[in-house]
Amino acid sequence: MVILFDAYNLPEDIYKVIFATDQQEIVGKLLINHMFENGGELNKTEMGLFANRLHEGEMVIKPKGRSMFDKEMKISYNKRQFYDRILTPMKSLGIIDYDLYKKTYKVSERFNKVMIKVGLMWLHQLRKHQDSVKGIKN
């Protein structure tokens, strides 16, 4: 997955950095919230039930900071697109890990470690370039 962001206009919400559309952001937040409500981990069946509830439009959210009289919103998201555009990218980024033995999805800190590694790779590249420029001047 490719993450495109503007370092000078970085949004406060990590989901705005990760996902391309507002609907994807909402579904990504719903998934992480659901996982934390279940101890940060879901098995394959629970993940499938979550995807089915989204697909059938049974997910209901109420926007934060709104009046208690405001309408709740029903969220519907295609099951296949959920796996392709939400879960798989979150797994590949290291936000969610899948344990092959336990067959569970778990919220992970690996995303942070990968971003640090990317930053270190860039520093290594800069130093390599600077060293090659110094070698030409001498």
Task: Please say if the pLDDT value at position 136 is more than 90.
Answer: no
Could you tell me which residues come within 8 angstroms of residue 51 by beta carbon, excluding any fewer than 6 positions away? 79, 82, 83, 87
pLDDT the model gives residue 105: 98
pLDDT tens across 72-101, in order?
788 899 999 999 999 999 999 999 999 999
pLDDT the model gives residue 85: 96
Lowest-pLDDT range of 20-24, 59-63, 80-84, 108-112: 59-63
The rounded distance, in Å, linking the Cα atoms of 90 and 72 is 27
Side-chain-facing half-sphere of 134: CA atoms under 13 Å: 6
Task: Please say if the pLDDT value at position 63 is more than 80.
Answer: no
- For residue 36, what are its two tokens? 């934390």
pTM for the structure as a whole: 0.84
pLDDT the model gives residue 69: 65
